[in-house]
A and B are shown apart, each in its own frame.
Chain A
């Protein structure tokens, strides 16, 4: 324990290390929080969900904070339900006994562009007689637009953009633009101000109800944007953290520990054992790592556990074995090992209690520095299409973006967001790893 605190104190001396440590801790904490708040099954369901989950999102839009950097603001998406702020409901009953429900959706339009669409979602309950709905829009410049009136079924979706009648009413301009400009405005400047959408629903039966929902499909959405399937990109960004951490740490720890143990065993026993291990290592060094993983992914299975296992198996017998071996050969000649043999210690005990503890301080920096390479490996595989088909990860995001030619279509955020996260991860672990290396390897101190 004391050693740990001493190490922390040493780390404090290097600003880059503190920086790295903060990033690493933030990532680890975020990973845990994400897994707790969005459990695995929920995440998968959401990610693979279709219209019912994502239907209301705009397609391929950047995140909302893009607007901070723009002079002409893009329209933010809105999803207003009954009970939300800005929605007022009034229910009256006429003299004839007919209940009329007036739902007013009010929002402040301060943008310089036009929404992709305005959509009303109605749900109703009734026996035989369908309820009747009429929609009116009141613009800030005192226009009243009678949008339409119609009977609705159990569910009814009414996208304004596709309403031809409305279009004619607006003088041939597409409704998502027409509603927001003054009449006969050639310049098409949107009118800013409070817009009120009034929905009047009339039911004809006892117990019949109507619920309305208004969605303004804007040009920005959420804090991460959306992809080609209208999916909120914040999900793969967040879920990418635990996947990256798990893959990176498991691969790094598994590889480092096994490499060290195998090197120790080989060096201690020497002779044929050592020879075999070295030959395996040399052959493995020549094998093309990425190509083999691609082959496994293509022909066998793309499950992330299979890929992780293959990664570790191929990574154990690499250069690490050679460098540990040179360390162990040195330590093997120590007098205290000789003493241990003299008082009767058995081979296993010597390897695990006398050789390895000597070298463990050198294991840690290597381990920490190796995490980013495994994280990048997972992303690379996903980018190449060999990633786990189920999980939402950063690599998958880049893969989707690439498949949809995101760069050419101006959807830079789709690529930049996962890329930045990958870089931050790499930076954090690398900084921490270098600092640990300086602490544990005295010859590098002062650099």
Chain B
């Protein structure tokens, strides 16, 4: 169920100037210091190491990768919860690092956050009404009537009706799907322009996932939201976002539209991910899956050159293990960071 709108392809391969692109991530580096006993420094965890891309309103982008690849850190930096050590998040032309505290609070009201664990995301000692009032109170909506009105409106959008029935309930009284709707409602209540969703359905039952993903898609279309999905599940991604970015060891190694990535995967890691993702098919029993050996590298001392090279069957010695590959464009609108495509 790909998007019917043909949005303009918006992938840039180099740093953009400060245009009025809605959201621009520019050469973002987010490192965490490792403390040693006493006062020594043991190095840094290079969680995000040079990520750049743009996103416009009304576009949905999925960032796919395994655990430890840095996608969660990237997401939290976009949310303003971590500070980059280099590079920046540029929102409507303004650098996040230059925001004052008040501007930062405004920015946070512009970004909605949908978390992975619906139960953990809701304070267990508050009822649904309190949970939804909190963001409003914090952002200065003092009139109780106005708050209730907004809650009603947003609940109708997430299809939790009758609203009065749900307001006094506590999180443990709701099903997983309902809890996630409350989380989405909370993310939407400040009328954000950007929505960040971290594995929004991975902890829900299979039968409920589609409902929730449809809901998110509907909200995106209705409110012309920019959406960033973080996930490790390639099968769902295609249905709900235009673009898919593949992340590995702190870098984005491939960027393409959904259909394009699945039809013409380029990077060996992407190929591995796709072949490891099964569809329900009885023939799977007959063959073994082809999995690259080894594990993702440590982010404290990542490998030289291309970070995937120790596991890559098609590695070019002398090149892949020495220099980090830049982005190549083998197909229009399809970028890949791999030396195999250096002639593109």
Direct contact of A and B (CB under 8 A): yes
| Contact among B80, B122, B138 with A345 in the assembled complex (CB-CB below 8 Å) | B138
* A354-B123 contact in complex given A340-B134, A346-B138, C-beta closer than 8 Å: yes
Interfacial chain B residues near A357, Cβ < 8 Å: 123, 125
Bound CA–CA A346/B108 (angstroms): 12
Q: Which of A334, A341, A342 contacts B120 (CB 8 A)?
A: A334
Q: Specify the main secondary structure of chain A where it touches its partner.
A: helix
* Range of interface residues on B (Cβ < 8 Å): 20 to 34
- A338-372 residues with Cβ-Cβ distance < 8 A to B are 338-346, 349, 354, 357-358
A2 CB, nearest partner CB in chain B, Å: 11
A336 & B109 in contact (Cβ 8 Å cutoff): no
- B121 near A335 with CB under 8 A, answer yes
Interface string of B133-145 (1 = CB under 8 A from A): 0110011000000
Residue B111 interfacial (CB < 8 Å): yes
Residue in A closest to B117 when the chains form the complex, CB atoms: A335
CB <8 Å contact, A358 and B125: yes
Q: Smallest CB-CB separation from A357: which chain B residue?
A: B125
Please give, as numbers and ranges, the residues of chain B lying within 8 Å of A336 by CB-CB distance. 120-123
The A-contacting residues of B in range 20-74, CB under 8 angstroms, are none
B105 surroundings in chain A (CB, below 8 A): 344
| Separation of A357 and B130 alpha carbons in the complex (Å) | 14
Contacts of A344 in B (CB 8 A): 105, 108-109, 135, 138-139
Asked if B124 is an interface residue, CB under 8 A from chain A, the answer is: yes
Report how many residues on chain A are interfacial, defined by Cβ distance under 8 Å. 16
The answer to whether B125 and A345 touch across the interface, beta carbons within 8 angstroms, is no
**Does the CB pair A342–B108 fall under 8 Å?**
yes
Most buried by A among B76, B109, B117, B138: B138
B178 part of interface (Cβ distance < 8 Å): no
- Which A residues are in CB contact (< 8 Å) with B120? 334-336
Q: In the assembled complex, how far is the CB of residue A168 from the closest CB belonging to chain B, in whole angstroms?
A: 86
B338 at the A interface (CB under 8 A): no
- Given A342-B81, A349-B138, A358-B108 contact (CB < 8 Å): no
Residues of A within 8 A of B115 (CB): 335, 338-339
Decide yes or no whether B337 CB sits under 8 A from chain A.
no
Please give, as numbers and ranges, the residues of chain A lying within 8 Å of B116 by CB-CB distance. Answer: 335
Check B81–A338 contact: CB distance below 8 A.
yes
Taking a contact as CB atoms under 8 Å apart, the answer to whether A343 and B113 are in contact is: yes
Evaluate contact between B186 and A343: CB separation under 8 angstroms.
yes
Q: Given the interface contacts A334-B120, A358-B124, does A341 sit within 8 Å of B81 by beta carbon?
A: yes
Residues of A contacting B113 with CB < 8 Å? 338-339, 342-343
Known: A335-B117, A338-B115. A343 touches B190 (CB 8 A): yes
Tell yes or no: B79 within 8 A of A by CB: yes
Output the least CB separation between A435 and chain B (Å).
Answer: 22
Contact flags A321-347 to B (C-beta < 8 A → 1, else 0): 000000000000011101111111110
B interface secondary structure, majority: loop
Q: Which residue of B lies closest to A334 (CB)?
A: B120
* Per-position binary interface string of chain A over residues 304-317, scored 1 when its CB falls under 8 Å from any chain B CB and 0 otherwise: 00000000000000
Check A343–B108 contact: CB distance below 8 A: yes
CA of A354 to CA of B125, assembled, Å: 9
Among B80, B109, B121, B139, the most chain A Cβ lie within 10 Å of the Cβ of B121
Interface string of B70-113 (1 = CB under 8 A from A): 00000010011100000000000000000000000100110101
In the complex, how many angstroms separate the beta carbon of A420 from the nearest chain B beta carbon?
A: 41
Q: Which residue of A lies closest to B131 (CB)?
A: A336
A315 → B minimal CB distance (Å): 27
Q: Which residues of B contact A343 (CB under 8 A)?
A: 108-109, 113, 134-135, 138-139, 186, 190
CA distance A183 to B289 in the complex (A): 120
CA A344 to CA B108, docked complex, whole Å: 6
Q: Which residues of B contact A335 (CB under 8 A)?
A: 115-117, 120-121
Q: In the complex, which residues of chain A have a beta carbon less than 8 angstroms from the beta carbon of B122?
A: 336
User: A342 to B111, Cβ gap below 8 A?
Assistant: yes
Most B CB within 10 A of own CB, among A334, A339, A341: A339
Within the assembled complex, what's the spacing in Å between the Cα atoms of A334 and B115?
11
The closest CB in chain A to the CB of B76 belongs to: A338
CB atoms of A358 and B123 under 8 A apart: yes
Bound together, the chains give a CA A335 to CA B171 distance in angstroms of 14
How far is A94 from B237 in the complex, measured between Cα atoms in Å? 123
Counting chain A CB atoms within 10 Å of each CB, the highest count among B80, B134, B138 belongs to B134
- Map CB proximity to B onto A46-60 as digits: 1 under 8 Å, 0 otherwise: 000000000000000
Interface-centre pick from A343, A354, A357 (highest chain B CB count, 10 A): A343
How far apart sit A342 and B197, CA to CA, in the bound complex (Å)?
A: 12
Q: Using Cβ atoms and an 8 Å threshold, which residues of chain B touch A342?
A: 79-81, 108, 111, 113
Give the docked Cα–Cα distance between A334 and B109 (Å).
20
B76 CB contacts on chain A under 8 angstroms: 338
- Supply 15 A–B pairs (Cβ within 8 Å), ascending by A: A336-B120, A339-B115, A342-B81, A342-B111, A342-B113, A343-B109, A343-B134, A343-B139, A343-B190, A344-B135, A346-B138, A349-B138, A354-B123, A358-B123, A358-B125
**Top 6 A-B pairs ranked by shortest CB distance?**
A335-B120, A343-B135, A344-B108, A342-B113, A335-B121, A344-B105
- Known: A336-B123, A345-B134; 19 extra A-B contacts, CB below 8 A, are A335-B115, A335-B117, A335-B120, A335-B121, A336-B120, A336-B121, A336-B122, A338-B76, A339-B186, A340-B134, A342-B108, A342-B113, A343-B135, A344-B108, A344-B109, A344-B135, A346-B138, A349-B138, A357-B123
